[in-house]
Amino acid sequence: MSGIDDLMAESNERWTVAMRRAEGVQDNGLGEAIRTYYTRYFPLGLALSIAVGAVIGALIFPDTADNGPILLALGISLAACTALIGGLIYNAKKVVPAVQPGRIDVLLSLESDERKRIRRQIAGKAPLDTEHLPVVRAAAVQLRKNVATQLLVQPMIPLFFIPQAVNFARRGDSPFGWFMAIGAAVLVIGLGFLARDFRRAGRFLVITGEQARPS
């Protein structure tokens, strides 16, 4: 019995540490911050950057003024740089203040199977562990914060692939254009999975919000 008691004591200690780290972790509007970025700033910045990049390309390289694909590629290249810089600025100005993520990962003290169960709960694939609800909710907040940052920075990666795909497709003498296009599509799909995880964590926080409030 001493072996079982030791295991129980270790488990209780792990969860006690996790509960302590979960204190104060809170989402104060990450969903609204990301929604505003993708419905307002990102599409506006993308359109302006492509237009400005195309104009600059036409001025610097007059011979390409009548070549739409090249000018489009130049515009998208500028848009990729703008997306990276703009995403980092927006993250610092709007996303970081919208969450209290805590100083340490709340799952750090837990074992791998315990972390897996928590992630499955957040995804809605496992029953809710009400006994450790503060830890699970804090993990959802921290997951959401990490995904939010990726959603702001990663769109520039497929944008960098697109000009290369346009260039290779225009030359027509290399299959790399298709590889670049497929790579960009895969990255866009990856962004879709990130958006799904972000929504799942937000939905979990909403559903468990009432249960987390003290009676």
Domain boundaries, the chain: 2-212
CA distance 130 to 188: 36
Pull the structure tokens for residue 72: 């489009």
CA distance 111 to 14: 8
Count CA within 13 A, CB hemisphere, residue 71: 17
The sign of the dihedral angle between the CA atoms of 76, 81, 85, 91 is positive
pLDDT digits (tens, 9 = 90+) for 40-88: 999 998 899 888 888 887 787 777 656 667 777 788 888 888 888 999 9
Per-residue pLDDT of the chain (215 residues; tens, 9 = 90+): 455 544 556 678 889 899 999 999 999 999 999 999 999 999 998 899 888 888 887 787 777 656 667 777 788 888 888 888 999 999 999 999 999 988 889 998 889 999 999 999 999 999 998 989 999 999 999 999 999 999 998 888 877 777 666 666 666 555 666 777 777 788 889 899 999 999 999 999 999 986 555 54
Pull the structure tokens for residue 54: 């195309």
Instruction: State how far the alpha carbon of 145 is from the alpha carbons of 33, 72, 85, 95, 113, in Å.
Output: 11, 33, 19, 8, 22
Rg (CA), the chain: 23
Q: Which residue type does 43 have?
A: P
CA distance 101 to 123: 19
Instruction: State how far the alpha carbon of 129 is from the alpha carbons of 15, 108, 125, in Å.
Output: 12, 18, 12
Q: What per-residue confidence (pLDDT) applies to 22?
A: 92
